């Protein structure tokens, strides 16, 4: 899918991860302007981040998160050259993941 862009930088033993996820994040409460029918709910429910085989973040979302969400977080225990993997699953069962090297 290619829906996740990741940047990860290490400084002073702390890795800062910034990612942008391309996703419509529909609440199921908005109407289509042309048809007047409700647009079905489609939103990310779970986001996970892993580094060196360990989970460093799990986040549970709902329809209240905006379209194309941006996520930033920090963690310790990784170094330059290690990989960070971000994955998500939405309420329809769709999913994606991406990996980036820490700089």
The pLDDT assigned to 44 comes to: 97
Q: Which two tokens stand for residue 51?
A: 């580094």
| Pick from 90, 76, 74, 94: nearest CA to 17 | 74
The pLDDT assigned to 2 comes to: 65
| In this structure, CATH architecture of domain 4-30+37-101 | Sandwich (2.60)
Query: What's the pTM value of the predicted model, to 2 decimals?
Result: 0.90
The pLDDT assigned to 16 comes to: 98
The pLDDT assigned to 19 comes to: 97
Q: What is the mean pLDDT of residues 12-39?
A: 95
| Pick from 88, 89, 24: nearest CA to 98 | 88
What is the average pLDDT score of the chain?
95
46 close to 60: Cβ distance less than 8 angstroms: yes
The pLDDT assigned to 64 comes to: 87
| pLDDT over 60 (residue 1) | no
Q: What is the mean pLDDT of residues 60-67?
A: 92
Q: Where are the domains of the chain?
A: 4-30+37-101
């Amino acid at each position: 899918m290619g829906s996740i862009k990741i940047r990860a930088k290490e400084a002073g033993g702390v890795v800062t991860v910034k990612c942008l996820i391309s996703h419509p994040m529909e609440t199921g409460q908005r109407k289509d302007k042309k048809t007047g029918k409700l647009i079905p709910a489609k939103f990310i429910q779970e986001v996970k981040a892993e580094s060196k085989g360990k989970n460093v973040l799990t986040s549970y979302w709902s329809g209240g998160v905006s379209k194309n969400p941006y996520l930033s977080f920090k963690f310790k225990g990784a170094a330059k050259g290690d990989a960070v993997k971000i994955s998500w699953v939405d309420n329809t069962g769709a999913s994606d993941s991406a990996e980036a090297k820490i700089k």
